[in-house]
Amino acid sequence: MAAKILLVEDDKNLNMMLKLILKNKKLDWELETAHSGDEALQILQNFRPDVAVLDIMMPGMDGIELAKRIKKDSKLARCKLAALSALGDAETKKRAAAAGITDYWTKPIVPDALVANIQKLLA
């Protein structure tokens, strides 16, 4: 069965680029993307990802608040959370970990590293 991945990134160009990278790797993954926390919550009503990769800095609901909401939903309990963010400071990482984000990757990220990090979470 295909692994399910949710990618949440508000920058439309980066979102599209990451989606193309993950699709071009020809992995057996079902990929959904969102451009905001609110859009992600809409997708999560019917899509149950194994891994969600969240941008931290987004307008409206940021990735940390989105992580908290995902962790509160019993239907999403098995979803592993990772952050992909331009913020790399210790305080943001601490807040992310407290929200249930287990892996924290900083931008820019090498495409092969992104794939390898997601595969590690799926293992």
User: Residue-wise pLDDT tens for the chain (123 aa)?
Assistant: 899 999 999 999 999 999 998 887 778 899 999 999 999 999 999 999 999 999 999 999 999 999 999 999 999 989 999 999 999 999 999 999 999 999 999 999 999 999 999 999 999
CA torsion through residues 104, 109, 110, 114, sign: positive
pTM of the predicted model as reported, rounded to 2 decimal places: 0.96
Cα torsion through 83, 89, 97, 66, rounded to 10: -50
Q: From the CA atom positions of the chain, what is the Rg in Å? A: 13
Residue type, 43: I
6-18+30-106 CATH:
3.40.50.2300
Distance (Å, whole) CA 20 – CA 17: 5
